[in-house]
Amino acid sequence: MKKITQRQLIIFYCIYSFAIKFLLLPQLLTRGSGNDAWISALIGTVIELLVLWMVLGVMTANKDKDIYQARGAKIVMPLMLLVFLLQIMILTKQSFYLLGENMFENLSAFMFIIPMLLLGIFFCFTSTQSIFRSGEIFYVFLAVGIAVSVLPALGQINAREALPLFSSGMRPILTTTLINLIYFESASFLLMFSGEIKIEENFKKRFMAVATAVGVFFVFFVFMFWSLFAGVSSAKNVAVANMTGYSSIVASGGRTGWILVAVWLLLLLLRFGVTFYCAFKSTKYITGLKNRAGIISVTLALVVFLLSSFVFTGLREMQLFITNMRWVILGLYIVIPVLFFVFGFTRRNRDV
């Protein structure tokens, strides 16, 4: 079996990380911690990198092993499934919101969720090599989207807007980080492909170097977002779309803005498909159904449809759930999946 290369994995990680952060997260951070939003972003990024470092450590220590061989996998996989289901909900709502705010006034939530679920089912029948090869194509769109959206606004940055630092103390900063920590989760999906990845020389160092660069860029983006919009930043719903107002290319041609929205939607859909695939793999392991991909994927799609239609009916309901369940989410996203694999999976391989 041809394995996923280091280059493919790193490129896809960049897409996976960028897709969920550059739309609503800057607004959520500035709403909670104001001019110190970039500090909240920095703390969240540090936590994200620490989790990634531990995950990569597990992968490099167990090159040809997958998580299904881990001791206690039957306990952890249901928790991982909850992680991916929650991510699917966020991605679904963000994609719908992106289109509803920028392209279609009367977009039907029902008509929107169906194509997304069909995309998710399609990913369940796609080889992992094809999934990661697609990242080598779409990262070009990511680079163009960032360049056109962000670069024209660099000259308008007013660093004084970020002063004074810690104006309200550390509590709002830490609370904002904790509430929105779910958006900094970008390592769990890597575990689902362990055993299929070609671990090359200096794999961990190179991966961490790129991930750090991505994290630093996002912190700068949040700083830039506040310096441009300051007190009205909490009303700027889609950060990267609002940033395009400083681009003469976009301002002179209305349809160009639509193209940029389509680029970010493409990234969201790509992450949605991979996340759905990870949920599919988790469900497949939990149920023990090896040759029932159709049944599992359709059932999973039905569950997502019901949750999206009757539980998490909008972004407000989604964010309220995340706020109320922040400590549970912290455990799901960091403590349980990462520490279990670090101390459980590695130990089992040492015993062999």
SS (H, E, C) 88-124: HHHHHHHHHHHHHHHCCCCCCHHHHHHHHHHHHHHHH
Q: Three-state SS across 30-62?
A: HHHHHHHHHHHHHHHHHHHHHHHHHHHHHHHHC
Q: What's residue 143's pLDDT?
A: 79
163 by DSSP, 3-state: which? coil
Output 250 or 272, whichever has higher pLDDT.
272
Long-range contacts (CB closer than 8 Å, 24 or more residues apart) made by 323-329: 323/179, 326/178, 326/179, 326/181, 329/86, 329/181, 329/182
pLDDT in tens, 108-118: 777 778 888 99
Q: What's residue 189's pLDDT?
A: 87
2-16, 199-213, 255-269, 319-333: least confidently modelled range = 255-269
CA distance 245 to 106: 23
Q: What's residue 193's pLDDT?
A: 86
Q: What's residue 341's pLDDT?
A: 60
91-95, 142-146, 297-301: least confidently modelled range = 142-146
Can you tell me the mean pLDDT for 79-90? 88
The domain made up of 6-346 is a member of CATH 3.30.70: no
What is the distance of C-alpha 299 from the center of its chain? 24
Cα→Cα distances 164→35, 161, 168, 195, Å: 8, 8, 9, 48
22 by DSSP, 3-state: which? coil
CA distance 265 to 69: 36
Residue 241, pLDDT > 80, answer no
Output 331 or 175, whichever has higher pLDDT.
175
Output 219 or 292, whichever has higher pLDDT.
219
pLDDT over 90 for what percent of the chain?
Answer: 18
Output 256 or 200, whichever has higher pLDDT.
200
Residue 211, pLDDT > 60, answer yes
Band (pLDDT 50/70/90 cuts) for residue 156 is: confident
Q: What's residue 239's pLDDT?
A: 62
Residue 352, pLDDT > 50, answer no
Q: Which residues contact 321 (CB under 8 A, 6 or more apart)?
A: 312
Residue 214, pLDDT > 80, answer yes
Q: What's residue 63's pLDDT?
A: 72
Q: Which residues contact 13 (CB under 8 A, 6 or more apart)?
A: 186, 190, 207, 210, 211, 214
Prediction pTM value? 0.86
Output 106 or 266, whichever has higher pLDDT.
266
